[in-house]
Amino acid sequence: MRASNAPTATCPYSGATLPAPSSGETTDQFAAEASPVAGTGVEAPVADWVTIPDLYENPFPIYQRMRSESPVHWVPAVNRYMVTSHAACHEIEQDEVRFSADENNSLMKRSMGHSMLRKDNPEHQVDRDSYGSTLRPGTIKKHWNEIFASNHEQYLGELLAKGPSADFVWDYAAPYTAENLRLICGFHNASQEDMQRWSQTMIDGTGNYADDADIWAKSAASSAEVDAAIDEMLPYLAKNPDHSLLSGLASMPIPLEAIRANLKMTIGGGLNEPRDVLATTVWALLNNPEQLEAVKNDPKLHAVAFEESVRWVAPIGMYPRETTQDVVLEGVHLPAGSRLGVVLGAANRDPKVFEDPEEFNIFRPKKPHLGFGGGVHFCAGTWIARAQVAQIAMPAIFDRIPDLRLDPSAASVDAGWVFRGMTKMPVTWG
Ligand code: HEM
């Protein structure tokens, strides 16, 4: 195993330091190992040229080179094998026997507890089933759409009041999606600002490879706040049920520990992604006027633009898995216990599947992207994300601010690779 605890690189989200090979494990040694293993595939090539800052700034040229060389590389800077081809990522998603989600020494488990996302079946399914029908299309149609529309009216109003210039992400997309998630979860005792703070600090914990005490302290403080909020809401919701996750969980025989972990994972995973896909889609449309015009003329295309955006810039760009046995993945040998990064951001731009994959193009032929994952961990919030972004927010934004444009005096910034989205998006109108 090429593993080490020596910290040497920077985490994309927290700015923390990530482990890389320990002294003595030179990249040349890795390269020397990249030779065929009889009957069991070849060793993964070593991508010692990949750095975390480069990935963070713009991973896509890196992914292009990696995919053209091999579907899998050992990447010292992230101390993982990075899997970049569509076929290899898809194979992992469909096979939880060989590729476990229950990663050893998972920082996510330390930060948020052992959620369904880091469990294999049968344990995973028990947790997943405990979410009941809250996130399903029927409940969204009957219940959530109206609430999302009302939240949208509020936060679009706040954006307009701030105008004629504002930041699309922080003045609108973030509070809107955080408020939706607050109600979906059932945190009637918290604010959307709490949701944003909890989400970011616990995500920072999941990336805290350098063991930074300050990051752990903030993550632990949020975790304790979430525990307290859950403890308060469960008895209340048992008596006053609603459509939220916590309300359903209040009457389920699920251990409190699992409820807490699953809610923390959902706070971490259900807020940034809709926020990021909303901003990325609008940014892409504003940069492609003919596609924007088509969307404005045919509201059905909002859903198409949303899906193309999730393909083009996967909001969850990479997630971990661990091999349970020696495997050969697309011809590459991986020893048992290998830590893998399933790089959806790269798989979704694989030219073997998508023509001109680097282009945002709502008119491309429909092909299955991997932006929502796949297999047993396929995103449970897919329909919620589609509803709040493509059905509610996007049509209203272009209807109410028909002359919305990117502010020519201030550049937008997109960043990240584990999570990727707009970190700054100044817009103007009027
Ligand atoms: C565009 C928005 C979203 C994207 C791109 C996205 C992406 C993903 C991906 C890739 C996974 C699988 C990760 C893995 O296998 O390790 C996942 C899982 C999950 N997502 Fe999402 N997500 C989005 C929105 C949401 C929302 C809004 C919620 C909740 C309200 C949510 C809840 C979940 C849950 C609970 C899981 C765990 C499923 C399981 O382990 O069975 N997601 N998501």
Convert the pLDDT of each residue in 12-45 to its tens digit. 333 333 333 332 222 233 333 344 444 579 999 9
**Degrees (nearest 5) of the Cα angle 282, 284, 286?**
65
Distance 374 CA to ligand 1 centre (A): 10
What mean pLDDT comes out for the span 188-195? 98
Q: Which atom of ligand 1 is nearest to the CA of 131?
A: 35
For residue 421, is pLDDT > 90?
Answer: yes
Residue 39's pLDDT is 56
Distance 31 CA to ligand 1 centre (A): 36
Beta carbons within 8 Å of 67's beta carbon, 6+ residues apart: 84, 85, 346, 350, 351
- Find out whether 109 and 219 touch, Cβ atoms under 8 Å: no
Closest-CA residue, ligand 1 atom 40, reads 117
DSSP letter string, 112-126:
H-S-GGG--TTHHHH
Pocket of ligand 1 (CB under 6 A): 101, 116-117, 128, 135, 181, 184, 266, 269-270, 273-274, 277, 310, 315-316, 319, 371-373, 377, 379-381, 384-385
Please, what sign has the CA dihedral across residues 290, 177, 428, 159? positive
Using a pLDDT cut of 90, give the percent of the chain over it: 87
Residue 207's pLDDT is 80
Which of 134, 182, 379 to mutate to test ligand 1, by most ligand atoms within 8 A of the CB atom?
A: 379
For residue 55, is pLDDT > 70?
Answer: yes
Closest-CA residue, ligand 1 atom 3, reads 273
Distance 273 CA to ligand 1 centre (A): 8
Distance 409 CA to ligand 1 centre (A): 35
Domains defined along the chain, listed by start:
7-106+319-347 (3.30.43.20)
pLDDT band at 105 (very low <50, low <70, confident <90, very high): confident
Q: Which atom of ligand 1 is nearest to the CA of 321?
A: 16
Q: What is the pLDDT of residues 206-232, one digit of tens each?
A: 888 778 899 999 999 999 999 999 999
For the record, the structure tokens of 158 come out as: 């706040």
List beta partners, residue 340.
81, 321
For the record, the structure tokens of 325 come out as: 């046995």
Each residue of 175-214: b (16+ CB within 10 Å) or e?
bbbbbbbbbbbbbbebebebbbbbbbbbbbbbbbbbebee
Distance 196 CA to ligand 1 centre (A): 17
Q: What is the DSSP letter of 46?
A: B
Residue in the structure block whose two tokens are 């607050």: 182
Alpha helices by DSSP H, 79-191: 86-93, 107-112, 123-129, 137-139, 145-162, 174-185
Q: Name the strands in the sheet holding 99-100, side by side, starting at the edge strand that comes first in the sequence.
A: 72-75, 80-83, 339-342, 319-323, 99-100
Q: Look at residue 413 and give its three-state secondary structure.
A: strand
Is-cis flag, bond preceding 122, omega within 30? yes
Q: Which atom of ligand 1 is nearest to the CA of 177?
A: 27
Distance 102 CA to ligand 1 centre (A): 16
Closest-CA residue, ligand 1 atom 39, reads 377
Distance 225 CA to ligand 1 centre (A): 23
For residue 233, is pLDDT > 70?
Answer: yes
What mean pLDDT comes out for the span 346-355? 98
Distance 183 CA to ligand 1 centre (A): 17
Alpha helices by DSSP H, 244-288: 245-250, 256-269, 272-287
Q: Which atom of ligand 1 is nearest to the CA of 115?
A: 40
For residue 66, is pLDDT > 80?
Answer: yes
Using a pLDDT cut of 70, give the percent of the chain over it: 91
Beta carbons within 8 Å of 90's beta carbon, 6+ residues apart: 347, 370, 374
- Find out whether 268 and 219 touch, Cβ atoms under 8 Å: no
Closest-CA residue, ligand 1 atom 18, reads 379
Closest-CA residue, ligand 1 atom 12, reads 373
CA-to-CA distance for 272 and 267, rounded, in angstroms? 9
Residue 40's pLDDT is 79
Distance 316 CA to ligand 1 centre (A): 8
Beta carbons within 8 Å of 367's beta carbon, 6+ residues apart: 353, 354
Residue 210's pLDDT is 75
Q: What is the pLDDT of residues 359-375, one digit of tens each?
A: 999 999 999 999 999 99
Residue 209's pLDDT is 73
Distance 194 CA to ligand 1 centre (A): 20
Distance 262 CA to ligand 1 centre (A): 11
- Mean pLDDT across the chain: 91
| Strand 421-424 with 413-415, pairing | antiparallel
Q: Which atom of ligand 1 is nearest to the CA of 314?
A: 5
CA-to-CA distance for 364 and 21, rounded, in angstroms? 41
pLDDT band at 428 (very low <50, low <70, confident <90, very high): very high
Q: What is the pLDDT of residues 72-91, one digit of tens each?
A: 999 999 999 999 999 999 99
CA-to-CA distance for 295 and 42, rounded, in angstroms? 46
For residue 6, is pLDDT > 90?
Answer: no
For residue 388, is pLDDT > 90?
Answer: yes
Least confident of 158-172, 198-212, 416-430: 198-212
